[in-house]
Chains A and B, each alone.
Chain A
Amino acid sequence: DAKTTQPNSMESNEEEPVHLPCNHSTISGTDYIHWYRQLPSQGPEYVIHGLTSNVNNRMASLAIAEDRKSSTLILHRATLRDAAVYYCILRALNDYKLSFGAGTTVTVRA
């Protein structure tokens, strides 16, 4: 299975953007890049996913490198509610399993 590498932790100030990097140098052509986040004492929730093009939704933006070996999740204006563990995951097209690594713990300072 293709693996991802994320920093263990990141800090941000409230109302500032947060850029969360993810390296996936062994990604294959049909692997989707998924991001989830887990708020304290809750189950993970879906944030965004993409294949090749950059993606935007109401929660975040996903910027995918041209060679697809890395991606960045962008939270445009961090709020205290964005403090969570963020997981970057690769999902193969015909693979129904998602494996979660340790993720990046994001701390937001007021």
Chain B
Amino acid sequence: GAVVSQHPSWVICKSGTSVKIECRSLDFQATTMFWYRQFPKQSLMLMATSNEGSKATYEQGVEKDKFLINHASLTLSTLTVTSAHPEDSSFYICSGSESQGGNQPQHFGDGTRLSIL
């Protein structure tokens, strides 16, 4: 099955630090990747849609300058949390699908737990 690799799995850093999270599709090409954030005991909230070779599309309320997304190739997307603060502490998850179409499931990475001190 399709595999999405996400790392790091866990990050603890000081307030003000920038943190980069990588998301790779290992055995398929993901034209589109998605970035979600999940707070404890809550649902997954879509932050942005990442398209290879073009600018990401951000959901309402998500700061573009704070959450920088780059989709450098068909197999790699990165999310950089710039100048992270404690309120950015959350579980960040990426996903990708092999092709467009409602019957193609999204394959999720294992997530990155970000803790800002």
Whether chain B is bound by chain A comes out as no
B interface with A by C-beta (< 8 Å): none
